[in-house]
Amino acid sequence: MGLTKRRFSKARTASRRAHYKARVVTLVDCPQCHARMVPHRVCPACGYYGGRKVLEVKPAEEKAGP
């Protein structure tokens, strides 16, 4: 394997890695219950997708205190 003649600077390495970053998640309002949800997915709050019920959602269970 060949060896490099000169080392890369920190700026050159950082500019190459500049595209590796976390993206902001896009959220929209559900047309049925108006909860925030990821687009093109079933709404986790009501279970609707495309105007029809596709998932039976159980109510959130209360946490028991100590």
pLDDT tens-digit series, residues 5-40: 888 899 998 998 888 888 899 999 999 999 999 999
- What the block records as the tokens of 52 is 């029809």
In whole angstroms, give the CA distance from residue 22 to residue 59. Answer: 32
Q: Is residue 6 part of a domain?
A: no
Q: Does the residue 53 lie in any domain?
A: yes
Q: Which two tokens stand for residue 22?
A: 């976390």
pTM of the model: 0.59
Residue 7 lies in a domain: no
Question: To 5 degrees, how large is the angle CA 41–CA 47–CA 53?
Answer: 105
Q: Is residue 3's pLDDT more than 70?
A: yes
- Domain membership of residue 42 as a residue range: 21-57
Residue 29 counted as domain residue: yes
Mean pLDDT confidence for 47-53? 93
Overall number of domains in the chain: 1
Establish if 33 belongs to a structural domain: yes
